[in-house]
């Protein structure tokens, strides 16, 4: 039975369009299956929400442009061929205007919570990485977490994003989560894969240690290191009931993802990142994925958008065990 939901996004979704080779299941692409509005999604269906925000990146002194990311990710995903028919809904975008980041994150969370409660597979298209805190607010208010489910946050990122800046930025969302979990009498179960040592100060490493953050550095996430990456991912999954997967596209090498606020000199190969995404999706524990930091104006040949869309595609077409 489909549970009707009232969409509350600021900007209504646009119809998805893309390549069309003909009718029938043999020619199925994403734009054929995505429908506008929350009432088109039932339990198990995918639900897309955009978060149009540059504010956190601007405050963090990064390269702006991520507010245009949701539209570009939709465009990159729309023509990808589907291996089977599925159902998906697009609820439109939450837009951060006039610097009101906290309000935008709150609105995003309020939009996400009923989707998670309804059993939708939520994908939030960012936006700067400040999107992650809005995603967390939606999950923290869900029936599952309030009922005692153990929430785990896995961040695929070159950075810890545990800065202590005020006001909050794209570099603070996971410290904000840790403090919110502490206020709720819980400890944030936070793991990061792809940390770049040159991109994180000793202070950030100390903060990560204090919060018992588990992490793998990018130099240990090569293809040859895949068994170690697999062990890390499965150990994380074993400790939680519900997963928030946050993908900062700057985890990828600059050649794969040039269109981000902070391109990676080293990065984690796309094959490794995709394998981690598939492993998490197959666990049956994934409640929400957000994708952050795509800056279309900096993206040569749409490479970053295509990489991000491929990861979303892999997550949503990987069946749970």
Distance from C-alpha of 117 to C-alpha of 135, rounded to nearest angstrom: 14
Distance from C-alpha of 248 to C-alpha of 308, rounded to nearest angstrom: 9
Distance from C-alpha of 105 to C-alpha of 128, rounded to nearest angstrom: 11
- pTM over 0.85, yes/no: yes
Domain borders along the chain are: 25-317
> Which token pair is 100?
């009101």
| pLDDT tens string 229-253 | 999 999 999 999 999 999 999 999 9
| pLDDT tens string 42-67 | 888 999 999 999 999 999 988 889 99
| pLDDT tens string 299-313 | 999 999 999 999 999
Q: What 3-state DSSP class applies to 263? A: coil
What is the pLDDT, as a whole number, of residue 8?
63
Q: What is the CATH number of domain 25-317?
A: 3.40.800.10
Distance from C-alpha of 251 to C-alpha of 200, rounded to nearest angstrom: 13
> Which token pair is 183?
């206020």
């Amino acid at each position: 039975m489909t549970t009707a939901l009232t969409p509350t996004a600021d900007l209504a979704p646009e119809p998805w369009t893309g390549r069309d080779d003909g009718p029938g299941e043999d020619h199925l692409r994403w734009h054929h299956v995505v429908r506008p509005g929350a009432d088109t999604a039932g339990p198990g269906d995918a639900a897309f929400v955009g978060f149009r925000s540059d504010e956190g990146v601007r405050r963090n002194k990064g390269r702006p442009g991520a507010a245009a990311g949701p539209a570009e990710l939709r465009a990159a995903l729309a023509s990808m061929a589907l291996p089977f028919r599925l159902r998906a809904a697009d609820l439109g975008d939450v837009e951060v205007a006039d610097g009101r980041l906290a309000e935008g994150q709150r609105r995003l969370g309020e939009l996400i919570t009923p989707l998670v409660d309804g059993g939708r597979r939520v994908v939030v298209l960012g936006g700067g990485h400040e999107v992650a805190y809005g995603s967390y607010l939606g999950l923290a208010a869900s029936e599952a977490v309030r009922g005692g489910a153990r929430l785990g946050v896995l961040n695929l990122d070159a950075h810890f994003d545990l800065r202590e800046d005020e006001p909050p930025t794209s570099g603070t969302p996971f410290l904000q989560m840790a403090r919110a979990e502490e206020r709720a009498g819980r400890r944030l179960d936070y793991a990061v894969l792809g940390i770049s040592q040159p991109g994180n100060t000793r202070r950030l490493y100390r903060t990560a240690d204090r919060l018992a953050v588990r992490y793998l550095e990018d130099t240990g996430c090569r293809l040859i290191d895949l068994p170690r990456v697999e062990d890390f991912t499965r150990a994380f999954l074993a400790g939680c009931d519900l997963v928030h997967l946050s993908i900062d596209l700057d985890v990828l090498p600059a050649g794969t993802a040039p269109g981000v606020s902070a391109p990676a000199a080293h990065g984690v190969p796309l094959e490794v990142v995709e394998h981690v995404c598939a492993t998490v999706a197959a666990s049956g524990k994934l409640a929400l994925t957000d994708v952050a930091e795509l800056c279309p104006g900096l993206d040569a040949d749409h490479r970053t958008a295509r990489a991000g869309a491929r990861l979303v595609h892999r997550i949503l077409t990987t069946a749970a065990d």
